[in-house]
Structure 1
């Protein structure tokens, strides 16, 4: 029996390491599913905003004093934001930055539209504005929860000695949502008063 004892110890150790390593991978896959779900919620929130913009455009098209160039910019930004897609299983910092920049450009344009004075008397627009504001809050919440889902995944694969096995499995760190450069500055809102005066 004693001659088999070293082999038994080796087998127990190997089995223990295998179970531990498998646990790291399985836990990572479970956390990765949470990230996919959170990212789906982010995309759903952005899609809701894109759908509302169609109604926004229809609302402002009827306003004779609204600056045409801004309206065209909103339509273009919406198209670009809608075309920027991300696969959450292969998400990279570069992809996330591109997605974030497209959505942020649209947000800045929407703020310009929402502050345009001639639209404030339009009750339909005011209701639509409330919907967009609510959607922006949903987007913020979804992005926050995405970051909350990324954190435990990264902790699971980056801490030692888990990072050794994570590298073996090909698991990589997931990027967080971050504010785009210049987001701390309030967007500039311009009103085309000269155009309005020319019509008088």
Structure 2
């Protein structure tokens, strides 16, 4: 009788331990999934800030470089693509396109000394540079968070729970091919 009681207690302890482990793994997956969403929203905040600065920058440049219409249209179109992106891949691609267009715009500005000396242009350029740094940090944090989440979705035994409850791996925020190329330096 005592042996059967001990056996029941051991079985109950094992069952409670398994349930507690499953609850812990599930809650960990939920927490990581929410961190991924939060870190993506931090990127979104910085992209919104950059998108809000761009019309002011374009208007400032228009006053000095009216015949650079193609560059201004490229920046405006790229900004629109960022605003209309609906998932991480589209946002990443549109963000890379906008970064490239802004680099072209700043290169064009080098040809206009009056524009470069304009206080409004300098402030906007500084704010955009600061925002680009924040976007870079937010992307890094997002990718670190996605790595932790994806690891939890792939490692045993939490991968079993992830499949059972429909947790799917997330995509990383990736750089475009052009930014991976080694720049050519000429003297």
Q: CA offset at residue 65 of structure 1?
A: 4.6
Q: Select the structure that is richer in helix.
A: 2
Find the partner of 1:107 among 82, 86, 99: 99
What is the match of residue 144 of structure 1? 140
Out of 109, 124, 136, the position equivalent to 1:128 is: 124
Number of the residue aligned with 1:9: 10
Are 1:32 and 1:153, in contact at CA under 8 Å, matched by a contact in 2? Answer: yes
Shift of residue 59 of structure 1?
0.4
> Higher mean Cα deviation, 55-64 or 104-113?
55-64
Q: Which residue of 1 aligns with 2:38?
A: 37
Counterpart in the other structure of 1:194? none
Query: Which whole-Å deviations, capped at 9, do the CAs of 1:67-101 have from their partners, x for residues lacking one?
Result: 1111112111111111113xxxxxxxxx3222111
Looking at structure 2, the residues matched to 69 and 20 of structure 1 have their Cα atoms a distance apart, in angstroms, of: 59
Contact 1:97/1:180 (<8 A) preserved: no
CA contact (8 A) 1:24 1:157 kept: no
Unaligned runs of 5+ in 2: none
Alignment of 1:1-200 (within 5 A): 1=1, 2-85=3-86, 95-116=87-108, 117-118=111-112, 119-185=115-181
Q: In structure 2, how many angstroms separate the alpha carbons of the residues matched to 1:180 and 1:18?
A: 44
Q: Which runs of 5+ in 1 are unaligned?
A: 86-94, 189-200
Measure how far apart 1:139 and its partner are.
0.4
Partner deviation per Cα, 1:6-44 (whole Å, 9 max, x = no partner): 443333222211110110011111222222221111001
- Alpha-carbon deviation of 1:64? 4.3
Report the CA distance between 1:45 and its aligned residue. Answer: 0.6
For normalisation by structure 1, the TM-score amounts to 0.81
Count of matched residue positions in the alignment of Structure 1 and Structure 2: 179
* Alpha-carbon distance between aligned partners in 2 of 1:40 and 1:53, rounded to the nearest angstrom: 20
In structure 2, C-alpha distance between the alignment counterparts of 1:19 and 1:81, rounded to whole Å: 43
**d(CA) in 2 for partners of 1:6, 1:178:** 54
* 3-state SS of paired residue (2:176): coil
- What SS does the aligned partner of 1:174 have? coil
